[in-house]
Amino acid sequence: MRLSLLFTRYMGRHFGFWLASVFLTLIAIVAMFDLVELLRRASGKQEVTTEVVVQMSLLKLPHLVQDMLPFAVLIGGMLTFWRLARANELVVARAAGVSVWQLLLAPIAITFLVGVVLITTFNPFAAAMRTQYEQLEAKYLSQQRSELAVSPTGVWLRQGTRDRQSVIHADDVDGRGATLIGVTVYRLAEQDRFVGRVDAARAVLREGYWELQDAFVSEPERASEPYATYRIATDLTVDKIQDSFASADSLSFWELPQFIGTMEEAGFNANIHRLYLHSLLATPLLLCAMVLIAASFTIRTGRRARTGLMVVGGVTSGFVLYFFTNVVHALGLSASIPAQLAAWMPAGVSTMLGVTALLHLEDG
């Protein structure tokens, strides 16, 4: 049977309504809990006002949108098909010769389009907001400040507390960040007031300090002094240096490929950022898989006694997929499996399971 445009628009309108309703509900709930958590973290810090906490919550909200969208698609899809099945509209459509795939055409098309817009347009906005959130978090909620940036001019590292910090520049890196080559250290006091500079041929990370070799120490209104070795205290480790990079979710979809290349050229491991990039690329497929899973559990609910069980099964499947995704991503981060495989596996497996279930439903 040839599917009419009117029926497709009807399905799309129902799916869009429930998707938007569930999405807004989930975001409101998650934002409320996130605000409460930020208030808890800010308790006891007099400089952190309620306005700052609300601002941080709003800046973090776009990132939560990306996390909640798969659950919104799953629950919205289940409500859509359940309501249509309960009203016997799906029964009439199937009796008229409409296949499962024709029923799902509009929801899948809408979901895929939402996924594409999410990673190409919304993600850069969310990344910019996430960057500002992390800056406020470091300023108001974190006791230590450590940032690392990689650029074509070298590596920049900022470490220390709010009252005393050091900005380190290195021309090259060796040993995953344990050794810096061609080092310049700018020493800053409160309000970023310059108090001295250290130039060294190499800086080796030891336990609790940087050991600068062949160093020259300069301070305002004083002559430079040479040192064979010079120490600068630090609480950094190699793992902390890796974690000090701009977080993957603070970089936009368009910035990630270049950032990954720059990191690897500097000798750092870019596995986290590569995993995040491919997870973004897999988002449209993952969202479509949520529609397939929702349909496989709720598109046929003729016996009302089993409706509750089917709904619970669909929601449970979504959370099982969530934990499976976390496990696979952990394996990807530890390099036990390739990052690309870890990113695409949850979307691919869930899509195949959804298609298999619907093929069985169609034939049966």
- For the chain, the residue count is 364
Give the DSSP H/E element, type plus range, for residue 155: strand 154-160
- Would the pLDDT of 96 be above 80? no
**Residue environment code for 330-364, b if the CB has 16+ CB neighbours within 10 A, otherwise e:** ebbeeeeebbeebbbbbbeebbebbeebbeeeeee
| DSSP one-letter string for 287-347 | HHHHHHHHHHHHS---SGGGHHHHHHHHHHHHHHHHHHHHHHHHHHHTTSS-HHHHHHHHH
Please list, in sequence order, all residues whose beta carbon lies within 8 angstroms of the beta carbon of residue 35, skipping any fewer than 6 positions away: 53, 54, 57
The helix/strand/coil state of 48 is coil
Please indicate whether residue 62 or residue 47 has the higher confidence score (pLDDT): 62
Q: What's the farthest any 2 CA atoms get from each other in the chain?
A: 92
Sign of CA dihedral 235, 240, 241, 246: negative
Please list, in sequence order, all residues whose beta carbon lies within 8 angstroms of the beta carbon of residue 47, skipping any fewer than 6 positions away: 140
**What is the residue extent of each domain of the chain?**
5-141+268-363, 147-243
Mean pLDDT is lowest, of 118-127, 145-154, 173-182, 258-267, for 145-154
Q: Is there a contact between 311 and 81 (Cβ–Cβ < 8 Å)?
A: no
CA 237/CA 208 separation, integer angstroms: 8
User: Tokens representing 62?
Assistant: 């776009």
Query: What is the separation, in whole angstroms, between the first and last Cα of the chain?
Result: 19
**Residue environment code for 228-247, b if the CB has 16+ CB neighbours within 10 A, otherwise e:** eebebebebeeebbbebbbe
Mean pLDDT is lowest, of 17-31, 86-100, 111-125, 279-293, for 86-100
Question: DSSP state, 47?
Answer: T
Mean pLDDT is lowest, of 36-40, 108-112, 144-148, 198-202, for 144-148
Q: Is there a contact between 227 and 217 (Cβ–Cβ < 8 Å)?
A: yes
pLDDT at 259: 82
CA 277/CA 178 separation, integer angstroms: 26
The pTM score is 0.77
| DSSP one-letter string for 206-257 | ETTEEEEEEEEEE-TTS--EEEEEEEEE----HHHHHHTBPPGGGS-TTTHH
CA 213/CA 201 separation, integer angstroms: 6
φ/ψ (deg, to 5) at 351: -65, -45
- Would the pLDDT of 1 be above 60? no
pLDDT at 305: 43
- Would the pLDDT of 74 be above 80? yes
